[in-house]
Amino acid sequence: MNRAKSKIALFVFLGFSFLTNAQEQKPLWMDTDIRNMQFSSDRFYSGYAVVIPSKNETFEEVENRAKQKALSELSERVRLTVKSSKLSETVSVDGTNIEEQILSTYNAVVQTESQTEIVGSKLECYHDKKNNEIHAFVYVNKNELASYYAAQISLNMKQLEAILQTASQFETANEKVKARKNYQEAIPMLVKVEYAQEMLITINPNVSFETLQKEKSETFRRNIVQALARLAQGVYFYVESIEDLFGKSENIVANKVKADLAHNGCSFVDNTEMADFQLIINVNVRFSSQNDYGVFCYADVEVELFDIHKQKTVFGDKFSEKGGSSSQEKAGRNAMETAANKITEKLKKWIE
């Protein structure tokens, strides 16, 4: 009798297994109630999407479309658009706005992050052949996400502190170009910290001040703004010059202009990215005349001053300066030096 019952039980089990395997098993998250229970909004962020294949669309294309739709929904639930209330007070120096630069960098980071997959998220897909649909479900645990952003704050704060220490050392040594370069490099790092802070607050409104390190980051922000404001008081030039002295390439005009401008508090950099102005000088020396008193030459000059911040030419001029001496080369050099003095005078109103 027991043997007969065992056979019946085995038959029933095998029959059930056959029916079960014959049908594709839908994942539990397909059921709205189960999904809301297992991935409740107090513990998870999630995104769900259902798409129907369009004509001539491959399976991979449909699946990717479903995934992207689910990821977009997840991103909308996670991301936070930060209002600019904390940036209401701006500091403007020489036509630049440091706080606006920080805000612009922040917005760029937010935009980039919004297009990036959420760290730690898990994505699943299911092809419902019966209804010809692709289902996609993505989710991320809030606690795990909060831990990630807390770690990002700690890591970026250490890197930010190191950059600012180096910048301060350069400024103390009066190496303004290097100091400003480091303070500028600190801005993206500061922004990463602030973004992680805002994300962490969004995920966990009760996060501790110690974890956020808000007070410290705000101090760093003030230091960056104030330092760049100080350094902006000195004008930075990138100088390009082509100087022809009877077939010889020279830097007579450029070197004299640099020396004169340096006395007026200007500094010079090696690339336009670090400059306030780009100064372009073209000089060609030509013979004029010769008499008992000596040789005379003209230096024909073209000068252009381009404002890097405003992205436009703010000054341009063409003129000729005469020079005389006992030889043609000396006369040409004198003409070039006189031209350099005139260029400096023309530029003074832009640096005072």
Residue boundaries of the structural domains of the chain: 236-351
Residue 215 pLDDT level (bands cut at 50, 70, 90): very high
* For the chain, percent of residues with pLDDT exceeding 90: 53
Using CA atoms, how far apart are residues 21 and 280, in angstroms rounded to an integer? Answer: 78
**Rounded-to-integer distance, Cα 111 and Cα 195, Å:** 11
Confidence of residue 39 (pLDDT cuts 50, 70, 90): very high
Strand order through the sheet with 133-141 = 44-51, 133-141, 122-128
Provide the angle, in degrees to the nearest 10, between the axes of the packed helices 98-114 and 214-231: 130
Please tell me the distance from the alpha carbon of residue 151 to that of residue 173, in angstroms, as a whole number: 34
Is the CB of residue 301 less than 8 Å from the CB of residue 282? yes
The confidence band for 114, taking pLDDT boundaries of 50, 70 and 90, is low
Confidence of residue 177 (pLDDT cuts 50, 70, 90): confident
- Across 9-18, 168-177, 228-237, 247-256, the highest mean pLDDT is recorded for 247-256
Token couple for 221: 């922000």
**Angstrom distance (rounded) from CA 77 to CA 92:** 36
**Global pTM?**
0.59
Which token pair is 217?
Answer: 């980051």
Q: In Å, how far from its chain's centre is CA 127?
A: 40
Confidence (pLDDT) at 61: 92
Q: For residue 221, is it left (φ>0), alpha (ψ between -120 and 50) or beta?
A: alpha
Q: At what angle do helices 214-231 and 142-172 cross, to 10 degrees?
A: 30
The pLDDT assigned to 302 comes to 97
Q: Percent of the chain at pLDDT above 70? A: 86
In the DSSP assignment, the letter for residue 70 is H
Q: Average pLDDT, stretch 258-271?
A: 85
Q: Say if residue 1's pLDDT is above 70.
A: no
| Average pLDDT value for the chain | 84
Task: Report pLDDT for 3.
Answer: 55
234: left (phi over 0), alpha (psi -120 to 50) or beta: beta
CATH superfamily, region 236-351: ABC-type transport auxiliary lipoprotein component (3.40.50.10610)
User: Model confidence over 145-160: pLDDT tens digits?
Assistant: 999 999 999 999 999 9
Query: How much is the average pLDDT of 170-181?
Result: 81
Beta bridge partners of 317: 303
Closest Cα partner for 102 from 218, 216, 205, 200?
A: 218
Supply the pLDDT for residue 95: 39
297 pLDDT exceeds 60? Answer: yes
Residue 106: predicted pLDDT: 80
